[in-house]
Amino acid sequence: MLRIGLFVVTVIGALVAAAPLIAIAGSNPLSAYRALLQGSLGSRRGLAETLIAATPLLTCGLAVAVSFQGGLFNIGVEGQLVIGGLIAGAIGAEVSLPAGIHVVVAILGAALGGALWALVPALLKAFRGVHEVITTIMLNYVAFSVSTYLVSPGGPLVSKTQPSATEKVKATAHLARIWQPTRLHLGVVVAIGLCAACWFFLYRTTAGYRLRMVGANPTAAQFNGINVRGVVVRTMCLSGALAGCAGAIEVLGLHGRYFDSFSPGYGFDSIAVALLGMMNPLGVAAAAAFFGMLRAGSVLLQAKAKVSKDMVTVISGLVVAFVAARVVLERRLESSASRRDRRRRDG
């Protein structure tokens, strides 16, 4: 109950704080929010677009949340997502496999690619003590330039007909559309499945418990015989694998081919998603729905209220700022709770 309250307070706080910034950028905040709401929930198409945007946000949010629960801050989700999308696009277009198997292989390949992309920061963190925030960000830029190169003119994966993209993914590797005539695809089901799996893994398995223990207190974990370095490496790779899946879902479900810069920054928004969702898979799902609304509504926001789409990133940033500042509120609540306990004990 308290958590739901904090979630709502954070969202409202960020939206209120964004209002003067929207005004500075030259628009009316109220009509901006009306356009956001109308664009995201006001029609069948809007609702579908909200779910479509929430799908990668949920998957990437899980990637960030898993890393955070293990005491790591994976800011490289955007790069891992791009690598995942690229691999899924390549497997989908270049490999021939029976329907059903093809799509699974493409997603698994993407997950593997994301995990390998996260392996370098994981090893540097575990064995060199280099902060993963720096290394994952460096690898983001490497991922951007490698992926741009591969589909640049004359690049090894570029399509013959479409610049800055791979060939179309074969029908056997498609994630089917599930709500005609909208673009909603099976990816949303995959994302919800991953969400449930993450919840089960974190709270109902020994490995998940170990992961959270390392995140909460690595020294204590070490003294309890947990191989902290091993957990660090596995956590980071799991996080990268989830991000890779998100890329695959976008490519196989929505775009049908890998496009250069297909992600409008889902990997970065997902940091806000995970923080707002308090690193719990269920919270992350709720937060992904909220940010999905923002993304879906941003189209109408730009068209109708003349507010730049970039303001959505500002709102993400404000959510993160409120999460950061929320510790004060949490501290107050904690201290008042402990005061009450003491009074009860004494009285």
**Residue among 28, 64, 123, 34 at smallest CA distance from 288:** 64
List the one residue from 105, 116, 282, 314 that touches other proteins (CB under 8 A).
Answer: 314
In angstroms, what is the minimal distance from the CB of 304 to other proteins?
A: 16
Compare residues 158 and 286 and give the one whose CB is closer to other proteins: 158
- Closest contact distance (angstroms) between CB of 216 and other proteins is 14
Q: Is 120 in the site for other proteins (CB under 8 A)?
A: yes
Nearest approach, Cβ of residue 16 and other proteins (Å):
15
Query: In the numeric block, which tokens belong to residue 200?
Result: 């089960």
Cα–Cα distance for residue pair 114/236, rounded to 1 Å: 10
Burial class of residue 42, CB neighbours in 10 A (0-12, 13-18, 19+): middle
Nearer to other proteins, 27 or 182 (CB): 27
CB of 132 to other proteins, least distance (A): 10
DSSP codes of every residue in 64-84: HHHHHHTT----THHHHHHHH
Query: Does residue number 21 form part of the binding site for other proteins (CB under 8 A)?
Result: yes
Q: Is 53 in the site for other proteins (CB under 8 A)?
A: no
Q: Is 218 in the site for other proteins (CB under 8 A)?
A: no
Q: Determine whether 166 is exposed, middle or buried from the number of CB atoms within 10 Å of its CB (0-12, 13-18, 19+).
A: buried
Both structure tokens of 19: 């209002």
Q: How many residues does the chain have?
A: 347
Rounded CA-CA distance 40/37 in Å is 5
Structure tokens at 67: 């890393």
Q: How does DSSP assign 99-112, residue by residue?
A: TTHHHHHHHHHHHH
* 131 scored as a contact of other proteins (CB under 8 A): yes
Q: What is the DSSP secondary structure assignment for residue 225, as one 8-state letter? A: T
Q: Which residue has the tokens 């064995």?
A: 127
178 near other proteins, judged by CB under 8 A: no
Nearest in space to 323 (alpha carbons), one of 281, 271, 285, 288: 271
- Indicate the burial class of 177 (C-beta count within 10 angstroms; 0-12, 13-18, 19 or more): middle
Instruction: Choose between 282 and 321: whose C-beta lies nearer to other proteins.
Output: 321
Residue whose CB is less far from other proteins, 110 or 274: 274
Cβ 133 to other proteins, closest distance in Å?
A: 6
CA-closest candidate to residue 118, choices 291, 285, 276, 234: 234
* 2, 26, 206, 345: residue in contact with other proteins (rule CB under 8 A): 26
Interface with other proteins by CB under 8 A: which range of 50-58, 110-118, 145-153, 167-175?
145-153
Size of the site for other proteins (CB under 8 A): 51
Q: Which of 58, 75, 175, 195 binds other proteins (CB under 8 A)?
A: 75
- 24 interacts with other proteins by CB under 8 A: yes
Q: Should residue 119 be labelled a site residue for other proteins when binding is judged by CB under 8 A?
A: no
72 binds other proteins (CB under 8 A): no
**Closest by Cα among 249, 108, 123 to 174:** 249
From candidates 9, 12, 99, 130, binder to other proteins by CB under 8 A = 130
CB of 319: closest distance to other proteins in angstroms? 8
Q: Residue 316 Cβ, how far from other proteins at the closest point, in Å?
A: 5
Question: In the complex, what is the shortest distance from the CB of residue 6 to other proteins, in angstroms, rounded to a whole number?
Answer: 14
Binding site for other proteins (CB under 8 A): 21, 24-26, 73, 75, 120, 124, 128-131, 133-135, 137-142, 144-146, 148-149, 152, 154-155, 268, 271-272, 275, 307-308, 310-318, 320-321, 323-325, 327-328
